[in-house]
Structure 1
């Protein structure tokens, strides 16, 4: 179903959904949301683009294999959990925070880096599965 309406709408929806996914990622510190839901929204944006414009065009848009995001995200999440042990001698996965607020982001802490890692893992896993299934049909 590659209609001109779907193609046009998906080209406008992709950046909007990606910005919304980053909003959900950043909102997740104090409210529901975070890396998992933001990653799913980003994946949905790319899947919508793939349905409308073809899988090849979407892969060219992403430029890297989504499977590469999984180990990067896992490493980032692991390092964010390990950083309190190495930096300040606190237990694993203890939240540490930068003392001053940052515009747009708010409080900068290890939880943000953990959420970004989860975001990357979710995008990588979801797109790898969906692209693999799409290629085999």
Structure 2
């Protein structure tokens, strides 16, 4: 199904889907969204791009191996739980860091980093599976 229209639209659709996945990721715990749903949307975008333009194009676009992305996400998720242990609080208790950046209050939290880790694990694992299936199908 590599029509000219699909190959032309796929990069733009992929970019929009990845942008939307980041929006869903940043919505966080209090509203529908988060790392898992955002990761599924991003992995779907990469799968669409792979179907349209080929697996080699996706591998060039994401730079790192998908399982390396998943491994880094797992590390980030695990590290996000450590600050609570250093403060002698229950495991995975939320920690917040607030600071000013150009007169804007920025609040960073450990749940945000955990969600980013989940996002990367899902993107890496699902993309790895999708790329392996697409490579197998093209043989």
Q: Report the TM-score, using the length of structure 1 for normalisation.
A: 0.90
Counterpart in 2 of 1:96? 95
Query: What does 1:12-91 align with in structure 2 at a 5 Å threshold?
Result: 12-86=12-86, 88-91=87-90
Contact 1:70 1:124 in 2 (8 A): yes
User: Kindly tell me: are residues 51 and 76 of structure 1, through their superposed partners in 2, closer, same or farther at Cα, counting changes over 3 Å?
Assistant: same
Further displaced range: 35-44 or 91-100: 91-100
For structure 2, the 5+ residue unaligned runs are none
CA distance in 1, matches of 2:16, 2:30: 23
Further displaced range: 104-113 or 33-42: 104-113
CA offsets, 1:5-62, max 9 Å, x none? Answer: 1111111111111111110000023212100000011101111111111111111111
CA distance in 1, matches of 2:4, 2:92: 48
For structure 1, the 5+ residue unaligned runs are none
Q: CA RMSD in A?
A: 2.0
Contact 2:98 2:105 in 1 (8 A): no
Counterpart in 2 of 1:3? 3
Deviation, 1:90, is 1.0
Deviation, 1:124, is 0.7
